[in-house]
Structure 1
Amino acid sequence: MTHTPADQPSAPNPEQLREQIEQTRHDLGQTVQALADKTDVKARTQHKAGELKEQAVVKADELKAQTAKATSQVQDKLPDPVKDKAAQAAGQVRATAAQAGRMWEKKAPAPLRQKAAQSAQLARGHRTVLLVAAAGVTVLWLTSHRRKKG
């Protein structure tokens, strides 16, 4: 069986070939870029860390709101004598902490004081995270404490 010229597709002209080559180059470039992105572990890690940080901030805000609500509810339910007693205890704790700090300054070795100062500086730098964590623990404790009573 022989083929007639009508059965064969017409050969592409030079302009069509250039367009096909350009399209192939474009597709190949995209494929190479996608592979490069997959192999760039550092960039992927940074991207994931950014996502996790954003999620942590959202969760911290939620916990902060829940803690404020729980604190308000607890304070509303406390009788005045208990509030007064708590204020007295807080004052005593502050005085004792100040006394312990003075004793620490007198008796602790210099390298240990320096390390403690660095740790305190780090804690101050991450105060929000520490406060949110403490608030979360408080909320969990209050929630579990209420369930035990209820």
Structure 2
Amino acid sequence: MTDKARDNSSTPDPDELRTQVERTREELGRTVEALAAKADVKAQAQQKAAKVKGLVHDKAASANEQLTETAHTLGRKIHDKTPQAGSREGRTEGAGAHTTRNLLVLAGVGVTALAMIVVVRRSRRC
């Protein structure tokens, strides 16, 4: 009821009642929407799953970068310690240089695969 209706001690007119009913409906609609959002467990679980998936993806990318850097560092160290093809020692081990490179690539792939397995297993625990 409005102040005007109270002052005149009369009942509210139909327009005032319609306005009050419409306002009450709007408030009730907002309340129902808020309650439905809180009760929608499936949507909340999907949002959380998407968030965790993003975190796992970011961690996997970071781990992959670190492993790639480590593989390159190890490759440089091994390359520096192996005889060069032009040196006296390198002449007898020409095929060994190719074998060393192949082993480095294989080691890098193995380390990357191992890291990915660890990341996937950890993500399944969540």
1:10 maps to which of 4, 18, 26: 4
Do 2:63 and 2:115's aligned partners in 1 also have CA atoms closer than 8 Å? Answer: no
Output the amino acid matched with 1:132.
Answer: M
Matched with 1:115 is none
CA deviation profile, 1:50-103 (whole Å, cap 9, x unmatched): 111111111211111122112211211123369746846x99xxxxxxxxxxxx
CA deviation profile, 1:81-140 (whole Å, cap 9, x unmatched): 69746846x99xxxxxxxxxxxxxxxxxxxxxxxxxxxxxxxxxxxx99752458xxxxx
Larger Rg, first or second structure (1 or 2)? 2
Deviating beyond 6 angstroms after TM superposition, the runs of 4 or more aligned structure 1 residues are none
1:132 to 2:116 alignment: yes
CA deviation profile, 1:8-60 (whole Å, cap 9, x unmatched): 92126544443332222122112112212222222211221111111111121
1:52 to 2:52 alignment: yes
Trace 1:101-120 onto structure 2 (pairs within 5 A).
Answer: none
Output the amino acid matched with 2:60.
Answer: A
Identity %: 35
Matched with 1:39 is 39
Unaligned runs of 5+ in 1: 1-7, 92-127, 136-150
Higher RCO, 1 vs 2 (CA within 8 Å, ≥6 residues apart): 1
What is the root-mean-square deviation in Å for CA atoms of aligned residues? 3.8
Matched with 2:82 is 80
Output the amino acid matched with 2:52.
Answer: L
Unaligned runs of 5+ in 2: 6-11, 84-95, 107-111, 120-126
Q: Aligned partners of 2:21, 2:66: CA distance in 1, in Å?
A: 60
Relative to the length of structure 1, the TM-score reads 0.46
May I ask how many residue pairs the two structures share in their alignment? 93
Change (3 A) 1:21 1:133: same
